[in-house]
Amino acid sequence: MDSVDIQADLTKVLHTEAEIHTRIAAMAREIEADYPGENLLLVGVLKGAVMVMADLARELKLPINMDWMAVSSYGAGTQSSGVVRILKDLDSDLSGRNVLIVEDIIDSGLTLTWLLGNLRSRGAASVEICALFRKPLAAKVVVDVRYVGFEIPNDFVVGYGLDFDERYRNLRDVAVLAPHVYS
């Protein structure tokens, strides 16, 4: 789905599909330089990270494995509380592995802070984070994100895997959702 197909639901396109692909390629070059000859384990956080994972994994000129986790953070409304429940755990054993968590977006950073602690406690050789988008609040939190695609304003965005009420994940671009859609 393209932004023009749902123009009325969007206020602004933040990053086009082409910009996202260019940025992911650049991040892949950084990752390749940091893990020469390593067999990386990419851990995607369902469901939002599906598109980033698919594009990043194919862009990487490294042997990789892919695994997935689904988590839900308890909290009132749209605010994340930091209390996280695992809905689907990894299939892989992390002992001695170099793990890269692949996330769509970091807002409060609470979910990732919890995930980082959880995965690090499983005996991995290293655990780092790659997030396509980061909002201003997260930049202030002490969550150590090694790779960030784009810093974006504090608006609710959809597309490229990001949903509102399970919709818009198949939008190619990332765009700000028009307030009339959710109010």
Where along the sequence are the contacts to ligand 5GP (CB under 6 A)? 48, 73, 80, 103-112, 138, 156-158, 162-164
Please state, in angstroms and rounded to a whole number, the distance separating the CA atoms of residues 92 and 55. Answer: 21
Nearest-CB residue to Mg ion?
48
Nearer to ligand 5GP, 35 or 139 (CB): 139
Residue 44 interacting with Mg ion (CB under 5 A): no
Please state, in angstroms and rounded to a whole number, the distance separating the CA atoms of residues 84 and 104. Answer: 17
CB 133 within 8 A of CB 152: yes
Question: Of 62, 82, 138, 70, which Cα lies nearest the Cα of 107?
Answer: 138
The minimum distance between CB 147 and Mg ion, in angstroms, equals 16
Among 44, 48, 159, 161, binds Mg ion (CB under 5 A): 48
Nearer to Mg ion, 31 or 45 (CB): 45
- Check if 55 is active-site: no
Contacts of residue 106, Cβ cutoff 8 Å, sequence gap at least 6: 112, 131, 133, 134, 135, 138, 143, 145
| Residue 80 binding partner per list Mg ion, ligand 5GP, none, with a CB distance cut-off of 5 to 8 Å that depends on partner kind | ligand 5GP
Nearer to ligand 5GP, 40 or 138 (CB): 138
The minimum distance between CB 159 and ligand 5GP, in angstroms, equals 8
Among residues 55, 104, 107, 173, which one is catalytic? 107
Nearer to ligand 5GP, 104 or 128 (CB): 104
Tell me the three state secondary structure of residue 13. Answer: strand
Q: Positive or negative CA dihedral for 12, 154, 120, 35?
A: positive
Looking at the DSSP assignment, which residues form a beta bridge with residue 164? 167
The minimum distance between CB 63 and Mg ion, in angstroms, equals 26
CB 163 within 8 A of CB 176: no
Q: Which residues are catalytic?
A: 107
Residue ranges that bind Mg ion, judged by CB under 5 A: 45, 48, 104
